[in-house]
Amino acid sequence: MYRGIELNADDLLRRSIIQSLMCHFELSIESIEIAHLIDFRKYFATELDELREMVDAGLLRVDDRWITVLPRGRMLVRAISMVFDRYLRADRQRTRYSKVI
């Protein structure tokens, strides 16, 4: 429960990822897999695809063990972290649908 909203396992997982990226500018993939009993690359395949553009722009580095926000990407850490926010993703999809209609 957070501010009157019941958080599910996915919410807690995503919150820990976003907090780690925003506070420490890095994320240990292994620590997330152990703490939440997931295969990170399968669970976040879509998100990792979205991050590829930011990797190509030199904003972050993604390897087998870590996601690291590089100095060039620190000013954009909110945008990087937003990739993992499923509620923002749902809002973007709803907006796209509305624009089509």
Looking at the DSSP bridge assignments, the partners of residue 67 are: 27, 62
For residue 7, the model assigns a pLDDT of 87
pLDDT for 8-23, tens place per residue? 999 999 999 999 999 9
Q: Distance between CA 87 and CA 19 in Å, rounded?
A: 16
CATH architecture observed for domain 9-95: Orthogonal Bundle (1.10)
pTM, entire model? 0.81
pLDDT for 13-58, tens place per residue? 999 999 999 999 999 999 999 999 999 999 999 999 999 999 999 9
Q: Locate the domains of the chain by residue range.
A: 9-95
